[in-house]
Amino acid sequence: MWFSKLTLELLNSLSAKEFHTTFGNVVECHPEAAVACSKKLPFASVDAVIATFDDYLQQLNVETKTRVLRSFPDLAGKLLDSHQLTEESTYEHACAGLDKLMAEDRDKLTTLNRKYQDKFGFPFVICAREASRFEAILNGITTRIHNLPEQELETGIGEAKKICRLRILELVERD
């Protein structure tokens, strides 16, 4: 990132509104997370910030968890093609090399993404930066597509937490 990261002290000095703007996309296209978590200002540590967002995601009801997952773009999908991904997601795609896939791999993932979406009603979500390679992502979707819907909702939210953690660490200096 081109800007310097916030220290914990600076983070704690943000107004609620500034906090909403700064952390508005740590959960993809779900600014409600930052609004809810700003109520916990000030934070004792960066880990406490991460834990607050984790707890927020965990306590959501099934309907809202589903909505959170539906806010994520398909990996290597249409939004990548049309350059409409969020800045964060664009970076994550690049980290896992998803912006440079060969046509054959791309088609494989598109077919699996479609099957996954048809089965669960939300997109396949995985922390691309952690998976880091296309093979790991392909492996993930191939295995997880056999899960039960309840299980997959929780697994997806677990991945949203990992994405959220790494996005927070792009914004805030580790203490």
Ligand X SMILES: NC(=O)N[C@H]1NC(=O)NC1=O
Enumerate binding residues for ligand X (CB under 6 A). Answer: 28, 72-75, 89, 92, 123-129, 163
Residue type for 145, please?
I
Q: Whose CA is closest to 141, among 156, 154, 162, 163? A: 156
* Residues β-bridged to residue 6: 172
CB of 128 to ligand X, least distance (A): 3
Q: Name which of 72 and 120 has its Cβ closer to ligand X.
A: 72
- Please tell me whether residue 6 adopts helix, strand or coil conformation: strand
- Tally Cβ neighbours within 10 Å of residue 41: 15
**CA distances from residue 36 to 3, 16, 66, 76 in whole angstroms, order as listed:** 25, 10, 18, 30
Q: Name which of 38 and 89 has its Cβ closer to ligand X.
A: 89
CB of 81 to ligand X, least distance (A): 14
CB of 126 to ligand X, least distance (A): 5
CA 77 to chain centre: 15
Ramachandran assignment for 162, one of left (phi > 0), alpha (psi -120 to 50 degrees), beta (any other): alpha
CB of 1 to ligand X, least distance (A): 16
Question: Which helix (H) or strand (E) is 76 found in, with range?
Answer: none
Q: Name which of 53 and 124 has its Cβ closer to ligand X.
A: 124
Q: Name which of 13 and 151 has its Cβ closer to ligand X.
A: 151
Q: Name which of 20 and 162 has its Cβ closer to ligand X.
A: 162
CB of 93 to ligand X, least distance (A): 7
